[in-house]
């Protein structure tokens, strides 16, 4: 008669428990991978939407600055005769036009960088403030600049340029707020990672 061997019931139960634990661990890892994948896709989608907003703001700001530049280039020769100790008004118009074009190219080329938005806001905002001030206030000659008082919105392109400058300043400020928000958002995970590494060490 052949002897038979029997496996203890405790051993079978232990093996079953180990197998079940391994299955649960594998399932947990799979769910973790899927969750990380969903989070990564969500992050990419949010980043794409944020970049779309940035490029729209950049295009709007650049368009306003280009209008400002074109008007100043076209009207500059009207004001060449109005001279000051340092510059004529026509020269100031040409400088403003060139700076506006530089600011427009800056926001189009580097929409993620907040300094270009700040520069564009300063260019457009200062031009808008100057045209409004010299239309309503007789400031007179100032610091070697000519007296540019002109109490009328009649000259060609003056009103359109002022509207473009105000709009450009507002768009640039919105872009600046966006760039600073994105900068803080990108810095937060880096700080969290450094803090976690510090806790581990």
pLDDT digits (tens, 9 = 90+) for 97-121: 999 999 999 999 999 999 999 999 9
Q: How far apart are CA 154 and CA 8, in angstroms?
A: 103
pLDDT digits (tens, 9 = 90+) for 31-76: 555 555 555 565 566 677 878 999 999 999 999 999 999 999 999 9
**Taking Cα atoms as reference points, which of 164, 174, 167 lies closest to residue 53?**
174
Q: How far apart are CA 57 and CA 178, in angstroms?
A: 9
Measured over the CA atoms of residue 190, residue 191, residue 194 and residue 200, the dihedral's sign is negative
pLDDT digits (tens, 9 = 90+) for 153-193: 999 999 999 999 999 999 999 999 999 999 888 876 555 55
**Taking Cα atoms as reference points, which of 60, 89, 53 lies closest to residue 164?**
60
- What rounded mean pLDDT belongs to the chain? 83
Q: How far apart are CA 163 and CA 169, in angstroms?
A: 10
């Amino acid at each position: 008669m052949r002897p038979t061997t029997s496996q203890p019931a405790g051993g079978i139960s232990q093996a079953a428990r180990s197998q079940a634990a391994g299955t649960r661990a594998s399932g947990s890892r799979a769910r973790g991978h899927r969750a990380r994948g969903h989070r990564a896709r969500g992050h990419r989608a949010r980043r794409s939407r944020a970049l779309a907003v940035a490029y729209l703001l950049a295009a709007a700001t650049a368009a306003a600055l280009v209008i400002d530049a074109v008007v100043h280039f076209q009207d500059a020769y009207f004001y060449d005769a109005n001279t000051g100790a340092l510059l004529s008004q026509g020269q100031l118009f040409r400088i403003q036009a060139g700076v506006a074009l530089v600011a427009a190219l800056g926001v189009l080329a580097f929409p993620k960088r907040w300094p270009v938005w700040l520069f564009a806001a300063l260019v457009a905002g200062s031009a808008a403030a100057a045209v409004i001030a010299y239309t309503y206030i007789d400031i007179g000659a100032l610091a070697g600049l000519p007296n540019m008082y002109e109490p009328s919105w009649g000259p060609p392109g003056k009103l359109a340029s002022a509207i473009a400058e105000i709009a450009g300043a507002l768009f640039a400020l919105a872009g600046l707020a966006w760039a600073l928000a994105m900068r803080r958002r990108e810095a937060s995970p880096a700080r969290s990672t450094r803090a976690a590494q510090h806790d581990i060490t």
